[in-house]
Amino acid sequence: MSGAAPGPLDRLLSGDRPGTRLLNLLLLLLLASLLLAPFLFPGTRSLAVAARICIFIVLAASYDVMLGYTGIASFAHTMFFGMGAYGVAIALAKLSAGWGAVLLGAAAGVALAVAVAVLIGLLSLRVRAVFFSMITLAVASFALILATQLRDLTGGEDGLTFSVPDVLQPSFRLLAEPVLGVRLDGRIVTYYLIFAAALALFLLMLRIVNSPFGRVLQAIRENEFRAEALGYRTVVYRTLAGALAAAMAALAGALMALLLRYNGPDVTLSFSVMVDILLMVVIGGMGTLYGPALGAVVLVMAEYYLQPAMAALSGSLAGWPLLPALFDPDRWLLWLGLLFVLVVYFFPAGIVGKLRERAG
**Which whole number is the average pLDDT over 1-22?**
72
pLDDT of residue 1: 39
Calculate helix-pair angle for 290-316, 44-67, nearest 10 degrees: 140
Phi then psi for 163, rounded to 5 degrees? Answer: -95, 155
Taking the C-alpha atoms of residue 144 and residue 268, their distance in angstroms, rounded to an integer, is 9
Residue 140 clears pLDDT 90, i.e. is over it:
yes
Task: Indicate whether 109 belongs to any domain.
Answer: yes
Task: Indicate whether 243 belongs to any domain.
Answer: yes
pLDDT of residue 124: 76
Which amino acid type is present at position 66?
M
What separation in angstroms does the CA of 42 have from each of 28, 31, 99? 20, 17, 27
Strand stretches in 184-238, DSSP E: none
Residue 145 clears pLDDT 90, i.e. is over it:
yes
User: Looking at residue 161, what DSSP letter applies?
Assistant: E
Residue 125 clears pLDDT 90, i.e. is over it:
no
Give the number of residues written for the chain: 360
Q: What is the mean pLDDT of the chain?
A: 89
Reference 243, options 276, 215, 208; nearest CA is 208
Q: In this prediction, what percent of the chain has a pLDDT beyond 70? A: 97
Task: Indicate whether 269 belongs to any domain.
Answer: yes
**Which whole number is the average pLDDT over 119-130?**
77
Q: In whole angstroms, what separates CA 178 from the centre of its chain?
A: 31
Task: Indicate whether 49 belongs to any domain.
Answer: yes
pTM beyond 0.85: the answer is yes
Maximum CA pair distance of the chain? 73
Q: Domain limits at 75?
A: 36-286
Q: Which residues have C-beta within 8 Å of that of residue 192, sequence separation ≥ 6?
A: 38
Taking the C-alpha atoms of residue 227 and residue 163, their distance in angstroms, rounded to an integer, is 49
Count of the separate structural domains present in the chain:
1
Q: In this prediction, what percent of the chain has a pLDDT beyond 90? A: 56
pLDDT digits (tens, 9 = 90+) for 164-211: 999 999 889 888 888 888 888 999 999 999 999 999 999 999 999 999
pLDDT band with cut points at 50, 70 and 90 for residue 277? very high
Are residues 357 and 293 in contact, defined by beta-carbon separation less than 8 angstroms? no
Task: Indicate whether 315 belongs to any domain.
Answer: no
Q: In whole angstroms, what separates CA 353 from the centre of its chain?
A: 19
Reference 47, options 223, 137, 170, 202; nearest CA is 170
**Which whole number is the average pLDDT over 126-133?**
74
pLDDT digits (tens, 9 = 90+) for 73-95: 899 999 999 999 999 999 999 99
pLDDT band with cut points at 50, 70 and 90 for residue 4? low
Task: Indicate whether 293 belongs to any domain.
Answer: no
Taking the C-alpha atoms of residue 205 and residue 149, their distance in angstroms, rounded to an integer, is 34
pLDDT of residue 2: 45
Q: Which residues have C-beta within 8 Å of that of residue 73, sequence separation ≥ 6?
A: 66, 67, 129, 132, 133
**Which whole number is the average pLDDT over 105-126?**
90
Are residues 77 and 273 in contact, defined by beta-carbon separation less than 8 angstroms? no
**Which whole number is the average pLDDT over 141-148?**
93
Taking the C-alpha atoms of residue 236 and residue 50, their distance in angstroms, rounded to an integer, is 37
Reference 69, options 218, 240, 201; nearest CA is 218
Pairing of strands 262-263, 160-161: antiparallel
Task: Indicate whether 13 belongs to any domain.
Answer: no
pLDDT digits (tens, 9 = 90+) for 310-351: 888 888 877 787 777 888 888 878 888 888 888 878 888 888
Taking the C-alpha atoms of residue 3 and residue 347, their distance in angstroms, rounded to an integer, is 35
Task: Indicate whether 313 belongs to any domain.
Answer: no
